[in-house]
Amino acid sequence: MEKKEVKKREVKQPSLFVALIPIFFMCIFMGVGYVAMGLPSEPMMILTAVVAGIIAWRLGHSFNDMIHTIAEKIASVMPALLILITVGALIGSWMSGGTIPMLVYYGLKIVSPQYLYITALLVTAIVSVCTGTSWGSMGTIGVAFMGVALGMDGVNPAIVCGAVVSGAYFGDKLSPLSGDTNLAAAITRVDLFKHMAHLLWTTLSSLIVAAIVMFFAGQTVHVSSGSIAKIEQINGTLSSIYDMNVIMLLIPVLIILVGSMLRKPTIPVMLLSSAVAMFNTVVIQHFSVASAFNAVVSGFDTTTFLGENYDLGPAAEDISSLLNRGGMSAMMSTLLIAFCALSFAGILSCSGALDTIVNNLLKVAKSTGSLIVVTLVTGVLTIATTCNGQVSLVLPGELLRPAYIKRGLHPCNLSRSIEDSGTIFEPILPWTAAGAYCASTLGVATLSYMPWATLCWTGVIFATIWGFTGIGITKLTPEEQKEMLAELEKEEQQKEISA
């Protein structure tokens, strides 16, 4: 019998119109399904990936080609995904060991009526850097500051809210514990600590501007006798639950800070910090060994750790909101959306749509400054249309990384720009999840606090200035560029082999 020949399908390069079809459907699914109808974002991304897959198949790519490319994308960010899980363990152990509660306790003690705005900014920034969670910082320290603001004469709640949001997102960008920071570094394949150091050019500049604004805005604040009752209630309950042994409880923080400065591998540093925090859980806070491990896996829970009958006092709701968090399981939702976004990005890459879009974008980016602007615009449009922080990091990071390398620019410029336009811009858009969360949690409409959340919108301004002036722009050495170009060429060859 004669062997039947299998005809190899012809692979076509998509036009710009065809390449943009998946992006269009992403806007529809995320805008209508996720934003308007409140459907989960993960199925919306999968539907978008299905549309992209159909187009890739019509262009001649097989299902196996798509799966292979998706697997490569996931493998490229696997270190960041492992870090995310480690971050969950770290937060849970810090909570049970008393490190985070101690930071909150002493942070609240330094509130000064005359400097309420700048205190709210800086204390929230410190807590957010130490915890790596903007939402957690706003839901705990932020809520406490808003409570103080409502009891003070002459205080504008919108300014306090803007200060809290700015401080919270400062930490979200510059903490090694932040999921978005780790994801941005992984997508662009930049060392985490190099990425964080490069972020200082825009984020620290924005923080300085925010601090100046808050300092001059808060000179007429007066305090009433009952306005700090909420803080006293929170601190009283925290001191009854935890032994505030400052020296021991600061050691986990110092391990992270010293490890960051010495550029040690992230995961071992975090595991060491978590281990010390677990020691504090048992020895300093007198919880059981089993509780220490449960905090690492499932996070801290007041009912489990303290018992159902434990009286949290008048601030019970705030204490529960503050303490009940962390654990490796808490990171699963972030991992899931990352997998869904990477599936979409992988199929786009397989179909050649990414190359087509990039080539057309780069036609208007003739200089370093214009390339930075293209990156910022792409990031803002992505977060505005998808309302998802992870997607706004993954897509521009995947789209534009080759362009930066080919122009001799270090990918850390890209990783910084996608955070300036994605992560940091999200909370000042009313229709995003972050914007809605800030408004509902802090009790101020998004458009009311937006002008005062100066850190969130000055980042793109500084990024543009540094891009056109060349200040704070890192270039590749000839050796680094040669190595990265070789990696890109290898990826292209693998794609051709798969095709």
Q: By mean pLDDT, which of 92-101, 244-253, 285-294, 318-327 is the weakest? A: 318-327
Percent of the chain with pLDDT over 70: 87
A 10 A CB-CB count for 332 gives: 13
How large is the average pLDDT for residues 89-116?
Answer: 80
Q: Identify the residue with better confidence: 401 or 78.
A: 401
Distance in angstroms (rounded) separating the CA atoms of residues 399 and 371: 12
Whether the per-residue pLDDT at 54 is higher than 90: the answer is yes
Q: By mean pLDDT, which of 146-160, 399-413, 468-482 is the weakest? A: 146-160
If pLDDT is split at 50, 70 and 90, which confidence band does 206 have?
very high
Whether the per-residue pLDDT at 66 is higher than 70: the answer is yes
Whether the per-residue pLDDT at 491 is higher than 80: the answer is no
Q: Identify the residue with better confidence: 58 or 394.
A: 58
Q: Identify the residue with better confidence: 285 or 233.
A: 285
If pLDDT is split at 50, 70 and 90, which confidence band does 6 have?
very low
Q: By mean pLDDT, which of 232-241, 288-297, 389-398, 410-419 is the weakest? A: 389-398
Percent of the chain with pLDDT over 90: 17
Q: Is the dihedral of CA 89, 93, 146, 237 positive or negative?
A: positive
Q: By mean pLDDT, which of 99-103, 137-141, 403-407 is the weakest? A: 137-141
Asked if 35 contacts 431 with a C-beta cutoff of 8 angstroms, the reply is yes
Per-residue pLDDT, 5: 47
Q: Identify the residue with better confidence: 123 or 231.
A: 123
Query: Can you say how many angstroms the Cα of residue 300 is from the centroid of all Cα atoms in its chain?
Result: 22
Query: Can you tell me whether residue 227 is helix, strand or coil?
Result: coil
Whether the per-residue pLDDT at 167 is higher than 90: the answer is yes
Whether the per-residue pLDDT at 423 is higher than 70: the answer is yes
Give the tokens for residue 442.
């802090």
Per-residue pLDDT, 498: 56
Strand partners, 153: 222
Asked if 116 contacts 148 with a C-beta cutoff of 8 angstroms, the reply is yes
Distance in angstroms (rounded) separating the CA atoms of residues 335 and 206: 30
Distance in angstroms (rounded) separating the CA atoms of residues 43 and 271: 33
Asked if 215 contacts 240 with a C-beta cutoff of 8 angstroms, the reply is no
Query: What are the residue ranges spanned by the domains of the chain?
Result: 16-41+353-493, 79-331
Distance in angstroms (rounded) separating the CA atoms of residues 152 and 385: 39
User: Which of 15-24, 188-197, 208-217 is modeled with the greatest confidence?
Assistant: 208-217
User: Which of 56-65, 81-90, 105-114, 139-148 is modeled with the greatest confidence?
Assistant: 56-65
Per-residue pLDDT, 1: 45
Q: Identify the residue with better confidence: 216 or 135.
A: 216
Per-residue pLDDT, 495: 60
Per-residue pLDDT, 338: 72
How large is the average pLDDT for residues 396-414?
Answer: 85
Position 484: which residue type? M
Q: By mean pLDDT, which of 80-94, 393-407, 431-445, 474-488 is the weakest? A: 431-445
How large is the average pLDDT for residues 244-263?
Answer: 83
Distance in angstroms (rounded) separating the CA atoms of residues 263 and 265: 7
If pLDDT is split at 50, 70 and 90, which confidence band does 267 have?
confident
Entry pTM: 0.67
Whether the per-residue pLDDT at 155 is higher than 80: the answer is no
Asked if 127 contacts 104 with a C-beta cutoff of 8 angstroms, the reply is yes
Distance in angstroms (rounded) separating the CA atoms of residues 430 and 426: 9
